[in-house]
Structure 1
């Protein structure tokens, strides 16, 4: 049971990391730090180029525009998040689909440790209001993936109305991220995990 459930995470489709030149890697690393810590709109290409020790021309040559660099930052963050969840599953060894769901909640505590800025995807969605921005499919895709994983695990567990349960679990998960950032509620991941456990315990089976 454990190996089968863990593979539901490991076997997902995640875009492979693009091959970058050393300069491109420095640009993406600098942009990722600055965007997350200071905000996407407040950080200009001059600051990114300076932090990466490249010219603005090199930045545009590698990424085309700041908007494409923002999308690349979020794509990289998405890959990092998936790898982090794989590590959490391997370390915690959940034995049931319900336990896998709870690992997805418990992982938030470690993911947010030492950070005051919460979820980079939620933060970006607030700053990037235009629906046609190149980064929006990355943001939407990341949240849809979380919901689909909740639904897949609920179905594997034989829980009734897996779609409705997935909706509620996603609201708890994302609500914890927002509360952590906006309300400075550092206990939000633990509170959400307890609420998810209570929800699962009382949910009817097929």
Structure 2
């Protein structure tokens, strides 16, 4: 084996690692998100996060003051990804009725993904909501934002406001049921129930 000169090895290591704190933050958050979602937040320690991210503990604590700060940012990133995903699915439909049903099509695709373990917000609230006010606040804000989004779609469809919480509850229930059953079928069932509610609400 040909020896690598020390200067060359150091240069190689520098190229292979993100050079700035923002890139390192992304690496750490992606690793944390994978671990938290797969195993639960409390089961994952900073040492494990160090190993998964390849970032030293000293650097991790320089990027984030605490594990709580990492949890918070992971959830905020999840909120952004969820919001963008639902919006993209809805944007693919033109008819108001179909735009509402697109929410459940989005859920069906998500439930069918490898490694699906339910809603990260519900999971986080179950783990930490009782003693972490910040986690509880983020989870409630996320759910409220989704309910508001559904309410806007209902309004655009010309349906009564009472339809919005009914459709939101169907989506929330589908997430929990799919996580427990390990099946994407709850999204199909929720869509069928939503269609009945929408048809009744829009009936002349």
What range is the shorter-chain TM-score in? 0.7 to 0.9
Match for residue 43 of structure 1?
Answer: 44
Q: 2:180 aligns with which of 169, 179, 182?
A: 182
CA RMSD of aligned residues (A): 2.0
TM-superposed CA distance for 1:87, in Å, is 2.9
**1:73 corresponds to 2:71:** no
Greater Rg, structure 1 or structure 2?
Answer: 2
Residue 194 of structure 2: aligned partner: 196
In structure 2, runs of 5+ residues without a counterpart are 1-19
Alignment of 1:1-206 (within 5 A): 20-90=21-91, 93-112=92-111, 113-130=113-130, 132-160=132-160, 162=161, 164-203=162-201
Instruction: Give the CA deviation at 1:130.
Output: 3.1
Native 8 Å contact 2:147 2:168 kept in 1: yes
Q: Which structure 1 segments of 5+ residues have no match?
A: 1-18
**CA deviation vs aligned residue, 1:115-138 (integer Å, no higher than 9, x gap):** 330111111111112364333222
TM-score w.r.t. length of structure 2: 0.82
Q: Quick one: distance in 1 between partners of 2:167 and 2:21? A: 37
Distance 2:21 2:56 in 1: 16
Deviation at 1:20, TM superposition (A): 5.0
